Structure 1
Amino acid sequence: MNTTAAGPRTSRVKAGLTSREAAKRLAQYGPNTLAEAKRRPVVLAFLSRFTNPLVIILMLAATLAAFLGDRVSFIIITAIVLASTVLDFINTYRSERAAEALKERVRVEAEVLRDGYWTSLPLTQLVPGDIIKLMAGRLIPADGVVVEGKDLYANESTLTGESFPQPKPPKAEVYLGSSITTGEGQMVIKETGAATKFSHLAHALTSADTPTEFDHEIKDFSLLIIKITTFLVLFIFTVNLFFHHGLLQSLLFSVALAVGLTPELLPLIITLNLTKGSLAMAKHGVIVKQLSSIQNLGSMDVLCTDKTGTLTEDHIALVRHVDGFGEDSRQVLLYGYLASLYSTGFENPLDKAVREFKSINTAGYHKLDEIPYDFERKRESVVVAHGNRRLLITKGAPEEVMRISSHYTGGRRLDEVRSDIQAQYEYLSTQGFRVLAVAVHHVPEQAHYEPNVEHGLTFVGFMAFLDPAKQSAAPTLTRLRDYGITVKIVTGDNALVTRKIAQGR
């Protein structure tokens, strides 16, 4: 657990809750978790396996066999049904336990003020009255009210369906399930867990497990067997009566035919094959919570996948710092380093890669203000003082930085070299680099800087980062294509970088 001091300006009101008070409120309000589907008792979960139409047919067949005195058939059918049902139940139960253990390992944390220190805590431990730090890219961990903020906007599309970020000035309400898209600030929690609006919505949507397509197909097949068997039994019984066979003899013969037509081994064969598939997938770290979902996976024709950490190694490093024509530039590195060093609004691996690339002497520079990153502008800026000058340093998506730049280093107008700079950007992208652009602008002295000062900038150059593709990425994508599966890569990077990663080069 990491802690940092809240600073000398922290008042008693802003010191946050004490650990003792937080523990009392946690006991009073409960953990900050969403409403979940009620878990059935183990016995009921096991008995629910017997509601499968195919299992019902077999149990009816076993009952008829016992009625006819065919003890061997009764024992065989009952044993097969029990074996397949128990095997399915055990596999599902183990998978659910493994999934819960995995959920415990993957915990989302929030920055909370406790005992006067900023501390990273799991969301489940947050209580009403906690003060939470908000920043771009972070989820809002509970319902509450903004107590301070700067350029703070929240995406509430999960609650309202509104795709545009909403401004969140002080005293504005914020809700669990939303996320901060712009700015930074603090909120005080008012409601947690089941009392939040998002939890009410989640509870309304919570339902029992939805049957898979395979379940529907098995049900349809079972109904087909019932219809065919019923027709044949009635037909044979009617024919026997027509030829003046005894009523009891005709009935017993028809029932025996129904037992013989029942596919006793089918449930066991299905369960054994699906279990074998789940065991094979488990060796590759895949948890199968529902055996029938394996068949759905096999019928997949479109796969949407993340890129970072899935197709790549998820280890980003700064590789190049170049001007608009591809020449190494110490100026680009200096400005990029200052922008990353003084950036506090949105922690990301690109800033970390810049800071770890090389230690640069920043004596003579000090931060005055910051315009945080947001997902609308796709850039961030810091204002630093160097001597008597105030310098705005902007870094972000090349398209956006070039759009607000008017000049290039050396005094030339950007339009004179725009095509060359664009070509350099595309070249870096085709090499698989993630690219950030850097631009600067001298700004007048003022108390606070807003995004409207980001215009007329001087374009400096590019920083190129590399997150190499995994060696298994290209072969895996090729195999999926050979299986007839279309792969869609969901990423914030441009198409050129994604294509390079997909090719595995």
Structure 2
Amino acid sequence: MWFGKTTEEVIKELKVDPKEGLSSDESKRRLEEYGENKLTSKTQKTLFQIFISQLKDPMIFILLIAAVISAFMKELSDSIIILVVILINGMVGTIQEFKSEKAMEALKQLSTPKAIVKRDGDLKEIPSEEVVPGDIVILDAGRFTPADLRLIESANLKIEESALTGESVPSSKDANVNFDNGNIPLGDQKNMAFASTLATYGRGIGVVTGTGMNTEIGKIAKMLDESETEMTPLQKKLAELSKILGIAAVAICTLIFIISVIQGRDLFEMFLTAISLAVAAIPEGLPAIVSIVLAMGVQRMVKNHAIIRKLPAVETLGAVNIICSDKTGTLTQNKMTVKKFYTAGPDELKAVDELDINNIDDNLLLKNLMLCNDATYTETSQTGDPTEVALLEMGVKFNILKADLQTSSPRVNEVPFDSDRKLMSTINKQDKNYIVYTKGATDNLLKIATKININGNIQDLTEDLKAKIIKASNTMSDDALRVLGAAYKELTSPDIPIDSIEKDLIFIGLVGMIDPPRLEVKDSISTCKNSGIKTIMITGDHRNTAFAIAKELGIAENENETISGVELDKLSQEELNNKIDSLRVFARVSPEHKVNIVKAFKSKGNIVSMTGDGVNDAPSLKIADIGVAMGITGTDVSKGASDMILTDDNFSTIVSAIKEGRNIFNNIKKSIIFLLSCNLGEIITLFIAILLNWDTPLKPIHILWVNLITDTLPALSLGVDPGDENVMDNPPRNTKESLFSHGSGIFLILNGLLIGILTLIAFRYGEKVYGTEGVHAQTMAFVVLSVSQLFHSLNMRHPRKSIFQVGIFSNKYLVGSIIIGILLQYLVITIPFLSNLFNLFNLSLFDWTFVILVSVLTLVFNEVAKIFIRAKSKNS
């Protein structure tokens, strides 16, 4: 609690002479004791380690076992195909993970390269890594703070801390401030300067109190390092599915073993049959297909200004029901803007657009605020304090430029802003006279003003008039506007004592400014609300400012929905969890608070997205289900910790991304249900044949071919199916909901039965017509199995609508995949080398006609079923 100690106590505790600084020997000793002033992180994974981690999946283990057994049984083609699938899946995951987890590297890059310190009584510029606790550091405008400092001297010092605290304007610092209370938010610690923040104005001297991981930014780095990456809802479901399929494969193989023994089949045939069923039970291409569909979704989202850094984040987006958003730069424009003004003539607050430059009072107010100003403003560049830039921008609206005013009224003297006076004054020459222009805090200004300008008439500033001014100021403050007052007086000579410049002033008026909301955000928040998504504001700004913005945007309706960081400190995590549902706005919060808030929302089973752009947002971005960083204003740290980056910094892009995420999940579900129903058809085909003691209708290589080649293209095509335009009319899906909910399970089983039965019909027909040597009948079963699945992919387009309502050619990729699938089947059968490899028979034209007609029945039966489903929906 360095901010709670006096400068004398800090200097004594750190054992340093502020005039001499540390000696070279002492600094070396402390460097050995405390280590270098840089951030540490976990050892980064190698590419090989990342690849191996991709294989830690139950489905991959099952596939590896199947590959080993296939190789042992000398079915090398089966084994090779399985290993190729595993390799592709591992490579896709490796590439994605290698691109992520850059947060710690970005944090390291924030360290400043040089720092000015006192060593052996002299000022020295040293690498920031060599700064140690007790060093005396010199700060001036434009210089980054190399470590956490307790200020011991300051002169008009302002430091930009928005990346750390979330506050939208630079924080004024004062070395002489002392705090008795030990519970002071980071943004209110006026006697401290923190590592990696930027001095924008004035100068200061501080003593280093913390370096490296012991700084405030180091605490954030530690939180980033400690937070674990959780599995997404789809990853959890696929892991569960893998276990179920693995158990099913073992159970089926055991059952087949028992049946085979009873039937007296030989050992070799038993093993081949068991492998066939194991292969049929497991959709080999599923892991790769899910990864590829997600990757394709990522490419589409890039075009819509959203970069997905981690593939599983795409499907998680579709389940988001809480968006925790940082205020500054995310919901707001991250620039101060004058909204209202007040002059005594009309005695009313007006919008800045109503300012009349032909009115004496309005013109004088504007001229005052632009000349008593150290900022610069052009169309391409703005420098200086954001508050002063906003005043110049107000003038530009009325085609008045500071440069033009300074030409006619050059500055000849000034009294700089001081945090005690909270005032700034300039003396400008105008014709043969001189004018003092003063701006600053309303209360302080009224203490030194004796007159008031009302419609060009100078009158005494009475208590009644002061009361009206104070009322106008309070009204703007209640609306979370930052209020500045303006006053002036005329001089015949600029040569007057400094302490006489700010006396007997003539009051002109007030302006109120704020960091305004982004124009499009309100509509986006409304869309979220209609979609069952709550928007939560989390900010480092003051409570009244945060609530005013939240109320304007429709996030909160009353102040009971807001809470401050100080109040959060009094709550345990469990108490916050219980209270979280009633809160919408969190003000004056620290990075630790943000993490606790996200944890509280997640404790209620919510899928939480956290948006932000600052260093202070990084831990909560990482712990959230979806961390969303701003691409333009965001720091490298926030981008490194995020799952998604918005290239246009537009909150509305999040809503578009959620819509895309919902459609992508629906498409992935289509692919999964399609593959599983096809695999169930294969299981039913083999199981019934073995149960009835028939010859085996399919070989393992036939099933692998269908699963990996014929099924894969339709499954991928379903993954890029055109999205449902009305998907945002539905509430977020329940992540605990099964993949087989809403009738998907029944649909899967019925179609699996249909595919299996049609395949067996073709097999038995082939045996009856061409004899029981097996190859001809197996070929017909092989074609019906694959082609019926190709036609079945059309059934997946919509659970109720006919394929003709959806539009056969609305997904050209799917139509193309069906044509390619049939063509591949034809080539495998007709090319001698391939037909020998697969042990197939060249079918006649009549055979082809028969198998195609049988296969198309999958589409016919589903179309008929959908007629009854639609009729039932209309009647209900």
Smaller-chain TM-score range? 0.5 to 0.7
The equivalent residue for 2:838 is none
Does residue 231 of structure 2 align to residue 212 of structure 1?
Answer: yes
2:104 and 2:533 map into 1 onto residues whose CA distance is 30
Aligned pairs for 1:137-286 (under 5 A) are: 141-149=146-154, 150-151=174-175, 163=185, 176=195, 185-189=204-208, 192-194=211-213, 199=218, 202-203=221-222, 206-207=225-226, 210-213=229-232, 214-242=234-262, 249-250=269-270, 252-284=272-304, 286=306
1:161 and 1:64 map into 2 onto residues whose CA distance is 65
| 3-state DSSP of counterpart to 2:153 | strand
| 3-state DSSP of counterpart to 1:147 | strand
Cα distance change on mapping 1:366 and 1:477 into 2, 3 Å: same
Cα distance change on mapping 1:35 and 1:217 into 2, 3 Å: farther
1:201 and 1:395 map into 2 onto residues whose CA distance is 35
Does residue 106 of structure 2 align to residue 65 of structure 1?
Answer: no
1:199 and 1:471 map into 2 onto residues whose CA distance is 36
Quote how far apart the aligned CAs of 1:470 are.
5.6
What do the CA deviations read for 1:44-67 (whole angstroms, capped 9, x no partner)? 222221112222222222222222
Q: Check the 8 A contact 1:434/1:465 in 2, yes or no.
A: yes
Given the alignment, which residue of 434, 441, 446 partners 1:395? 441
Letter in 1 for 2:390: A
Aligned pairs for 1:394-473 (under 5 A) are: 394-395=440-441, 410-413=461-464, 417=468, 421=472, 425=476, 435-438=482-485, 461-465=509-513, 473=521
1:320 and 1:175 map into 2 onto residues whose CA distance is 34
Letter in 1 for 2:39: L
| 3-state DSSP of counterpart to 2:423 | strand
The equivalent residue for 1:352 is 389
What do the CA deviations read for 1:428-467 (whole angstroms, capped 9, x no partner)? x6xxx955242789xxx999xxxxxxxxx99964324587
The equivalent residue for 2:131 is 127
1:28 and 1:416 map into 2 onto residues whose CA distance is 60
1:167 and 1:502 map into 2 onto residues whose CA distance is 31
Letter in 2 for 1:131: V
Quote how far apart the aligned CAs of 1:191 are.
5.6
Q: Check the 8 A contact 1:134/1:187 in 2, yes or no.
A: no
Q: Check the 8 A contact 2:153/2:205 in 1, yes or no.
A: yes
Rg comparison, structure with higher value? 2
2:384 and 2:369 map into 1 onto residues whose CA distance is 15
What do the CA deviations read for 1:2-56 (whole angstroms, capped 9, x no partner)? xxxxxxxxxxx87999xxxx9xx99999974322221111222222211122222
Aligned pairs for 1:20-59 (under 5 A) are: 32-59=37-64
Does residue 418 of structure 2 align to residue 370 of structure 1?
Answer: yes
Cα distance change on mapping 1:370 and 1:111 into 2, 3 Å: farther
> 62-71 or 267-276, which moves further after superposition?
62-71
The equivalent residue for 1:299 is 319
Q: Check the 8 A contact 1:154/1:179 in 2, yes or no.
A: no
Quote how far apart the aligned CAs of 1:381 are.
1.0
| 3-state DSSP of counterpart to 2:206 | strand
Greater strand fraction, Structure 1 or Structure 2 = 1
Quote how far apart the aligned CAs of 1:266 are.
0.4
Cα distance change on mapping 1:52 and 1:140 into 2, 3 Å: farther
Aligned pairs for 1:489-500 (under 5 A) are: 489-490=537-538, 492=541, 493=545, 495=547
Q: Check the 8 A contact 2:301/2:307 in 1, yes or no.
A: yes
1:204 and 1:426 map into 2 onto residues whose CA distance is 36
Aligned pairs for 1:374-385 (under 5 A) are: 381-382=422-423
| 3-state DSSP of counterpart to 1:304 | strand
| 3-state DSSP of counterpart to 1:413 | helix
Structure 1 residue runs of 5 or longer lacking an equivalent are 1-12, 373-379, 448-456
Quote how far apart the aligned CAs of 1:292 are.
1.5
Quote how far apart the aligned CAs of 1:76 are.
1.9
Q: Check the 8 A contact 1:316/1:349 in 2, yes or no.
A: yes
1:350 and 1:261 map into 2 onto residues whose CA distance is 66
Q: Check the 8 A contact 2:528/2:534 in 1, yes or no.
A: yes
Quote how far apart the aligned CAs of 1:261 are.
0.7
2:444 and 2:322 map into 1 onto residues whose CA distance is 35
The equivalent residue for 1:8 is none
Cα distance change on mapping 1:434 and 1:76 into 2, 3 Å: farther
1:311 and 1:401 map into 2 onto residues whose CA distance is 33
Quote how far apart the aligned CAs of 1:321 are.
4.1
What do the CA deviations read for 1:359-417 (whole angstroms, capped 9, x no partner)? 46586864277126xxxxxxx8126599xxx9995438xxx999999999632437964
| 3-state DSSP of counterpart to 1:290 | coil
Letter in 1 for 2:239: K
Cα distance change on mapping 1:175 and 1:417 into 2, 3 Å: closer
TM-score normalised over the length of structure 2: 0.40
Structure 2 residue runs of 5 or longer lacking an equivalent are 1-17, 155-173, 356-360, 376-382, 396-401, 428-435, 453-460, 489-496, 500-504, 556-649, 651-876
Q: Check the 8 A contact 1:176/1:197 in 2, yes or no.
A: yes
Greater helix fraction, Structure 1 or Structure 2 = 2
Given the alignment, which residue of 79, 86, 102 partners 2:84? 79
The equivalent residue for 2:711 is none
2:277 and 2:328 map into 1 onto residues whose CA distance is 59
Cα distance change on mapping 1:238 and 1:407 into 2, 3 Å: farther
The equivalent residue for 1:375 is none
Letter in 2 for 1:127: V
Cα distance change on mapping 1:140 and 1:117 into 2, 3 Å: closer
Letter in 1 for 2:131: V
Q: Check the 8 A contact 2:368/2:438 in 1, yes or no.
A: no
Cα distance change on mapping 1:412 and 1:403 into 2, 3 Å: closer
TM-score normalised over the length of structure 1: 0.64
1:423 and 1:204 map into 2 onto residues whose CA distance is 40
| 3-state DSSP of counterpart to 2:89 | helix
2:53 and 2:41 map into 1 onto residues whose CA distance is 20
1:15 and 1:419 map into 2 onto residues whose CA distance is 48
| 3-state DSSP of counterpart to 2:511 | strand
Percent identity over paired residues: 20
2:424 and 2:185 map into 1 onto residues whose CA distance is 31
Q: Check the 8 A contact 2:517/2:553 in 1, yes or no.
A: yes
Cα distance change on mapping 1:14 and 1:60 into 2, 3 Å: farther
Cα distance change on mapping 1:318 and 1:185 into 2, 3 Å: same
1:402 and 1:254 map into 2 onto residues whose CA distance is 90
Quote how far apart the aligned CAs of 1:80 are.
1.6
Q: Check the 8 A contact 1:65/1:259 in 2, yes or no.
A: no
Q: Check the 8 A contact 2:336/2:390 in 1, yes or no.
A: yes
Letter in 1 for 2:55: F
1:234 and 1:419 map into 2 onto residues whose CA distance is 86
Letter in 1 for 2:485: V
Letter in 2 for 1:260: A
| 3-state DSSP of counterpart to 2:342 | strand
Letter in 1 for 2:302: A
1:318 and 1:413 map into 2 onto residues whose CA distance is 26
Cα distance change on mapping 1:384 and 1:78 into 2, 3 Å: same
Q: Check the 8 A contact 2:144/2:196 in 1, yes or no.
A: yes
